[in-house]
């Protein structure tokens, strides 16, 4: 396929490289001056999108996605697919899908899970929203860039799945960190805490696979000075998106709201910027009840 790829940062760059390595003709564009192996660079997003079979976007937020879509949809070939892999608000995803459909295009919102390592290794998980036809067109590319793609439903469903999943992740990480900090103050050994909880009703992904306590459980960012695998500011972004969606849908999400407020405080006022989202544990260690 001829693929336009707009947004070649830490995630988009390796994804585009994997598509090129698989033999696709990839034409890329990024606001920064980047060079990606196997990818021909265009002078603009419009040039990258013109006459492509599929255009993939990996962008910072919904506002930028809407602006890019406004520019590129008019130059895309009839029947081409616009596949947005950014994590953005559900309303923006649906608005772009409607705009694409009105122009005779297919559209898929397909945010990813797996981080930079998954992008480089081609092991991402895609959560996709859009028509069956649109998903079928994008599916062979998902197979190259990732190890799993789930068709979650119509437009916006991919974004909905991503933010609901990450709301659970953020809330659970906070609870896991709180529990370790409490265990410390009660004199409970961390390894004993892990051995009990990881095999009892309190087990979770944040405990069993991504433990925030250094030296306990499998290797995780906690064992590397909390260098980010998933940065706290990205968790804050996703929690804010969850609350924006909850507001729009009139959903009561008090735990999600509390998690968003805690990560906002951590990132913006307590030095959490640039640390892994599991660095909530040392944050709780330093604090008392007040």
Give whole-number Cα distances, 277 to 42, 53, 169, 173, 203, in Å: 35, 37, 10, 8, 18
Q: Which of 141, 175, 155, 165 is nearest to 230 (CA)?
A: 165
Q: Are 70 and 96 in contact (CB under 8 A)?
A: no
CA angle 7, 238, 250 (to 5 degrees): 125
Q: What is the mean pLDDT of residues 118-134?
A: 97
The per-residue pLDDT of the chain, averaged, comes to 97
Question: Which domains, from first to last, does the chain contain?
Answer: 2-154 (3.40.50.720), 160-286 (1.10.1040.10)
Give pLDDT, residue 12.
97
Is 164 exposed, middle or buried, given 0-12, 13-18 or 19+ CB atoms closer than 10 A?
middle
pLDDT digits (tens, 9 = 90+) for 193-208: 999 999 999 999 999 9
Residues belonging to the active site? 162
Q: What is the mean pLDDT of residues 239-253?
A: 97
Give the Cβ contact number of residue 243 at 10 Å: 19
pLDDT digits (tens, 9 = 90+) for 27-54: 999 999 999 999 999 999 999 999 999 9
Q: What is the mean pLDDT of residues 266-285?
A: 98
pLDDT digits (tens, 9 = 90+) for 207-229: 999 999 999 999 999 999 999 99
On the question of pLDDT at 290 being above 80, the answer is: no
Ranges assigned E (strand) in the chain? 2-6, 25-29, 40-41, 54-57, 81-84, 106-109, 112-113, 124-130, 146-153
What pTM value is reported for the model? 0.92
Is 145 exposed, middle or buried, given 0-12, 13-18 or 19+ CB atoms closer than 10 A?
buried
Give pLDDT, residue 115.
87
């Amino acid at each position: 396929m001829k693929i336009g790829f707009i947004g070649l940062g830490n995630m988009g760059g390796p994804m585009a490289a994997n598509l090129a390595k698989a033999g696709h003709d990839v034409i890329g564009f990024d606001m920064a001056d980047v060079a990606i192996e196997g990818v021909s660079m265009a002078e603009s997003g419009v040039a990258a999108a013109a006459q492509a079979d599929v255009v993939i976007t990996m962008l910072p937020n919904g506002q930028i996605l809407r602006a890019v879509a406004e520019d590129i949809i008019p130059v895309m070939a009839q029947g081409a697919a616009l596949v947005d892999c950014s994590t953005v608000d559900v309303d923006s995803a649906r608005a772009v899908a409607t705009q694409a459909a009105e122009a005779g295009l297919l559209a898929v919102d397909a945010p990813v899970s797996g981080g930079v390592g998954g992008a480089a290794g081609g092991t991402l998980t895609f959560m996709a929203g859009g028509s069956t036809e649109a998903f079928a067109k994008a599916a062979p590319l998902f197979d190259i860039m990732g190890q799993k793609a789930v068709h979650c439903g119509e437009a916006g469903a991919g974004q909905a799945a991503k933010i609901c999943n990450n709301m659970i992740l953020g809330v659970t990480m906070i609870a896991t960190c709180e529990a370790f900090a409490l265990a410390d103050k009660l004199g409970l050994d961390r390894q004993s805490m892990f051995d009990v909880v990881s095999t009892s009703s309190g087990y979770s992904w944040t405990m069993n696979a991504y433990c925030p306590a250094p030296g306990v459980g499998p290797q995780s960012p906690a064992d590397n000075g909390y260098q980010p695998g998933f940065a706290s500011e990205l968790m804050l972004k996703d929690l804010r998106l969850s609350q924006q969606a909850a507001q729009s849908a009139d959903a009561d999400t008090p735990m999600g709201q509390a998690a968003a407020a805690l990560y906002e405080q951590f990132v913006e006022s307590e030095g959490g910027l640039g640390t892994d989202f599991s660095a909530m544990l040392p944050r709780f260690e330093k604090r008392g009840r007040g």
